[in-house]
Amino acid sequence: MKKLVALLAAAAILAASCKNKEKAFEVQPRDTSIVVQNSFSTLFFDSTQLETFMTGETLNDSLTARIRSFYNSRNFQYAWFDSTGLAEQAHSFLNMQSQYISYARDSSVYNAKLGQLLDSIGSRPDTLAYQVPGKDRLGYELLLTEYFFRYAVKAYQGDNQLDAQGLGWFIPRKKLDLSAVLDSMIGKKGATAYEPVNRQYNLLKTELLKYYAIEKEGKWDSIRMDKPVYKPGESGEAIRQVKQRLTLTGDLSATDTTALFDTALVSAVKHFQKRYGLKQDGAIGKNLLKELNRPIQERIRQLLINMERLRWVSAELPADYLLVNIPAYTLYVYESGQLNWTMNVVVGAVAHNTVIFQGDMKYVVFAPYWNVPPSIIKNEIMPGIKRNPNYLAQKNMEWNGGNVRQKPGPGNSLGLVKFLFPNTYNIYLHDTPSKSLFGETNRAFSHGCIRLSEPKKMAEYLLRNDSTWTADKIGAAMNSGKEKYVTLKKTVPVFIGYFTAWVGSDGDLNFRDDIYGHDKKMAAKMFTN
């Protein structure tokens, strides 16, 4: 399934630290070159007025520094007003803020005075839309800047009170120059309403609004079945209810409300099963019913959780990269910014979570040894040796110093090739002799590393620009029985992400189970009721 529109995934990239608390903000020096003659606005104020304002507000050190730095950089020129009154960018920001508060259900960035200003603007004729009494101008100016920064931190970077690493996320969280974002909005007069977020974020926001509408409609009743499975051609009241539900979710376009399981419903059921990562058998059974009956509020929270994760990742991704979305059990190969192909993967079991992080692919290793991790030696191999003195020989293993390794060959746990992106978690991509697991819908079976369903294709892709490595030579190296390291001429970014809701390149909204409980932990932090 082609999905994860330039996501993610995710993905995530970048610049900064995963810490919750912002580092000390460096205040920019005052730019005295900005004067009335070279400014878009003739309005300026005194620095002492800013200090008086900030003394009266409840501001943390970072926010105080941001505001002070912003006005220093413009020599205390007004940002939200010009000679005619309240500027267009103020109206644009107030609308963006209001929309965010509504869809994110986040009242922490609300200010009653600014809310009244927005209401006042909206109730006046167009010719008076931007007029504010002169005596109130400076107060509104500074309040708008304060709440822009409050809003931008939450809406564009994510909640700083959420400990990303504590929630299992080790991809560096995005950091933005929010003063530059504000300057850009002011320069464009808010016309483009630019938001520095990943495209996937806005796609999920669109879906979130649809789910709010469904919630408001109040037709998300629990579906009950009087038999374990319904198949095409059968009838029943549950069939009618399923049709109504799939019409709400957009899987069934027809308005048919009969109780007959017809061909249109078969197609709709398969489409729903595809979006939810279920076996696409077209039958209505317990797994389908479980997903259909999840409360609408649970789906809304799932969307909000994944949108929060997307605030942590960069709006821009590299041209070429690999993305593994753990809950989707899928690897996505992006080339020149476009999804090229995908493959099924096996990820870590619940007891051996695959870590969420990023790295750079550097090596292809043909016919690899498997250096057995100490935990597996302790918990599996040593007990095996006690039971059977020939255990190592039967597993094609040998002692290597004080460690155990498995020799190259088709029975090697890493298969015939592995792909290394050096990291402290000892996680990598690799082949496997256990091919049957790729046919399962739930593919969380490994000790943490990621098994590939098409390892030779991956090797050919990574070495595609090296003419010395033909498909035949790659195949021979995989089956040589002799370990060989190949260093890539150019490293490839790898992102191991965790998204349980996303919109695919086909436009479909996808949901997956929270296999590691990361959503549950985030929900406990994000929602208080």
For 196-263, the DSSP string reads: -S-HHHHHHHHHHHHHHHHHHHT--PPP--SSS-B-TT-B-HHHHHHHHHHHHTTS--S----SB--H
Contact 444, 350 (CB under 8 A): yes
CATH architecture assignment, domain 318-369+408-498? Beta Barrel (2.40)
Instruction: For residue 91, indicate whether it is catalytic.
Output: no
Residues 325, 318: contact at Cβ < 8 Å? Answer: no
pLDDT in tens, the chain (529 residues): 444 444 443 443 333 333 334 445 567 676 666 655 455 567 999 999 999 999 999 999 999 999 999 999 999 999 999 888 888 899 899 999 999 999 999 999 999 999 998 888 765 545 444 567 777 899 999 999 999 999 999 999 999 999 999 999 999 999 899 999 999 888 876 655 568 899 999 999 999 999 999 999 999 999 999 999 999 999 999 999 999 999 999 999 978 889 999 999 999 999 999 999 999 999 999 999 999 999 999 999 999 999 999 999 998 899 999 999 999 999 999 999 899 999 999 999 999 999 999 999 999 999 999 999 898 999 999 999 999 999 999 999 999 988 999 999 999 999 999 999 999 999 999 999 999 999 999 999 999 999 999 999 999 999 999 999 999 999 999 999 999 999 999 999 999 999 999 999 899 999 999 999 999 999 999 997 6
Annotation: CATH topology of 221-292: Muramoyl-pentapeptide Carboxypeptidase; domain 1 (1.10.101)
Cα–chain center distance at 91: 30
Please say if 18 is a catalytic residue.
Answer: no
Catalytic residue among 18, 91, 352, 430: 430
| Nearby residues of 394 by Cβ (< 8 Å), 6 or more positions away | 388
Q: Of residues 18, 271, 447, 449, which has the active-site annotation?
A: 449
Instruction: Spell out the domain ranges in the chain.
Output: 36-160, 221-292, 318-369+408-498
